[in-house]
Amino acid sequence: MPDPHSPAAGPQPLDLPAGVHQLCSCGRSRHGWFCDGAHLGTGRVSYELRLSAPATVLLCGCGHSRRYPLCDGSHDTPVRRIRWQWWG
């Protein structure tokens, strides 16, 4: 099982059977990518994923996804740095 706390920068595949899955969106779960209720008090909720057939889903390994815990390809986006220029 992939570790949601690992520093992997790319997507991490996870094979799931058909059914309803509660995925961790806070990073506190002791069950890896699966929610165990540890998010209580953080203001976050678990991510419900409904699958009608077994599938492999790509989970975010970098933490930058706007659809976390699912990967949206944000790891490929270059980081924009603000350039400050001093006028003097």
* Mean pLDDT per 10-residue interval, the chain, length 88 residues: 54 93 87 87 87 93 84 75 66
For residue 69, whether the previous peptide bond is cis, meaning omega lies within 30 degrees of 0, is: yes
> Does 83 fall in a domain?
no
pLDDT of 2 reads 42
Q: Is residue 41 part of a domain?
A: yes
In a domain, 27, yes or no: yes
Which pLDDT does position 25 carry in this prediction? 84
User: Per the domain annotation, does 44 fall within a domain?
Assistant: yes
- Kindly report the backbone phi and psi dihedral angles of residue 49, in degrees, each rounded to the nearest multiple of 5, phi listed first: -120, 120
Domain count, the chain: 1
Q: Is residue 34 part of a domain?
A: yes
Residue 43 lies in a domain: yes
pLDDT of the residue at 50: 94
Q: Does residue 55 form part of some domain?
A: yes
Q: Is residue 4 part of a domain?
A: no
Q: What does pTM read for this prediction?
A: 0.68
Q: Domain containing 16: what range? A: 12-76
Q: In this predicted structure, what is the pLDDT of residue 8?
A: 60
